[in-house]
């Protein structure tokens, strides 16, 4: 059985079940959400960044690329600003990210 952890996204109210080892950006795409991005999840555009509101203790440690990205955004490297394409979770988390919506069905 696949273990998932729920990430609630404000203000859209999206609820994304992220699999163990999967990043938030990838999980959102798998579940049919559009997440702001330019690089498509490579960790270089920083467009995907989120503000962690709850559950920071359930978030994966930052890798050097993500740390660099947060610094480039001129945000504090305090674990509360994260790149969705690098962020893995081990429990429930709530984040704020504007512009996350369900892809329109064609």
Enumerate binding residues for ligand FES (CB under 6 A).
25, 37-39, 41-48, 83-85
- From the CB of 23, what's the least distance to ligand FES, in Å? 9
Select 47 or 94, whichever has its Cβ closest to ligand FES: 47
> Cα(85)–Cα(87) distance, rounded to whole angstroms?
6
Contacts for 35 with CB less than 8 Å, ≥ 6 apart: 25, 28, 29, 48, 84, 97, 99, 100
Q: Which alpha helices (H) appear in the chain, and where do they start and end?
A: 24-30, 64-72
Tokens of residue 10, six digits? 């404000």
For ligand FES, the closer of residues 3 and 42 by Cβ is 42
The strand pairing partners of 89, in sequence order, are 59
Minimum CB separation of residue 88 from ligand FES in Å reads 13
Q: How far is the CB of 65 from ligand FES (least distance, A)?
A: 9
Measured from the CB atom, the residue of 4 and 36 that comes closer to ligand FES is 36
Report the residue number, 3 or 63, with the smaller CB distance to ligand FES: 63
Place of tokens 């702001």: 36
**C-beta of 70: minimal distance to ligand FES in Å?**
10
């Amino acid at each position: 059985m696949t273990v998932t952890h729920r990430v609630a996204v404000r203000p859209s109210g999206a609820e994304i079940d992220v699999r163990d080892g999967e990043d938030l950006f990838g999980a959102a795409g798998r579940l049919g959400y559009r997440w702001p991005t330019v690089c498509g999840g490579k960790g270089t555009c920083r467009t995907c960044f989120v503000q962690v509101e709850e559950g920071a203790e359930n978030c994966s440690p930052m890798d050097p690329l993500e740390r660099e990205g947060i610094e480039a955004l001129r945000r504090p490297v305090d674990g509360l600003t994260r790149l969705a394409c690098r962020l893995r979770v081990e429990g429930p988390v709530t984040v704020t990210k504007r512009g996350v919506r369900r892809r329109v069905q064609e």
